[in-house]
Amino acid sequence: MKRNVLVWVEAAIIAALSMALSWIPDFAGWFTPSWGAIVLVIFSLRRGLTPGLAAGLLWGLLHFAVGKVSFLSVEQVLIEYVIAFAVMGLAGLLYSPFQKALKAEKYTSAITLACTAAFVGVGVRYFFHYIAGVIFWGKYAPEGMSPWLYSLTVNGTAALGTFIVVVIACVALIRQKKIWIAH
Ligand code: 218
């Protein structure tokens, strides 16, 4: 397969796999970690920024195809299912130093860079959910709780849980070079 085509086929498979992982039982409502972020961050470090952004965007759009969109308004849906999912690909900003570290078998540096990538991708995504939470979901806050604190509690917990599962997966898989280095 032409290299370019291969990258896009991989992006589509990654988006589908990330989507599939959202059927892992949701044990804590909006607090539940986003398992698909594991696959998306790894892919962004394997293929770089543009493929990462594209796979994230596609994952977001797949929510419409499978009917897993929580709709409050058009603006909310654009922020939470188009922008928030696409920006997870920003993890790919760390692609070059990560690839260099891994190819040199500098595993400590590679893990540090992967954690930074996870922090960027997951952090920027949940920043958008946080903003959407304040503007659109504030009305669901418990009596007497401000929308700011409500959104920070919900999205901060989900972001932290997601970051932790991505980091655990990266550490567990770091020596599996075939996952990280494309040919
Ligand atoms: C306070 C609050 N509650 C719910 C949402 C909606 N939200 C949160 C996280 C992730 C996603 C995308 C689908 O998994 C959504 C829609 C929010 N932003 N804030």
Residue with the nearest Cα to atom 5 of ligand 1?
Answer: 133
Q: What is the distance, to the nearest Å, from the Cα of residue 11 to the centroid of all Cα atoms in its chain? A: 13
Residues in the chain: 183
**CA atoms of 83 and 64, how far apart (whole Å):** 14
Using the mean position of ligand 1's atoms as its centre, give its distance from the Cα of residue 129 in Å. 6
pLDDT at 122: 98
pLDDT at 56: 98
% of the chain at pLDDT higher than 70: 100
Cβ–ligand 1 contact at 33 (below 6 Å): no
Using the mean position of ligand 1's atoms as its centre, give its distance from the Cα of residue 179 in Å. 30
Nearest to 110 by CA among 181, 56, 182, 159: 181
Cβ–ligand 1 contact at 133 (below 6 Å): yes
Burial of 91 (0-12, 13-18, 19+ CB in 10 A): buried
pLDDT at 3: 87
Residue with the nearest Cα to atom 10 of ligand 1?
Answer: 129
pLDDT digits (tens, 9 = 90+) for 95-104: 999 999 999 9
Amino acid at site 158? A
pLDDT at 26: 86
pLDDT at 141: 97
Nearest to 39 by CA among 20, 25, 23, 26: 20
Q: Which domains does the chain have, with CATH numbers?
A: 2-180 (1.10.1760.20)
pLDDT at 4: 92
Six-digit token string for 47: 């293929």
pLDDT at 1: 78
pLDDT at 28: 86
Residue with the nearest Cα to atom 2 of ligand 1?
Answer: 133
pLDDT at 27: 85
Cβ–ligand 1 contact at 151 (below 6 Å): yes
pLDDT at 91: 99
Considering Cα of 16, then 80, then 89, then 34, what sign does the dihedral take?
negative
**Sites in the chain below the pLDDT cut of 70:** none
Considering Cα of 109, then 111, then 114, then 119, what sign does the dihedral take?
negative
pLDDT at 80: 98
Specify whether the CB–CB gap between 46 and 24 falls below 8 A: no
The pTM of the full predicted model, rounded to 2 decimals, is 0.97
Cβ–ligand 1 contact at 18 (below 6 Å): no
**CA 154 to ligand 1: nearest atom:** 1
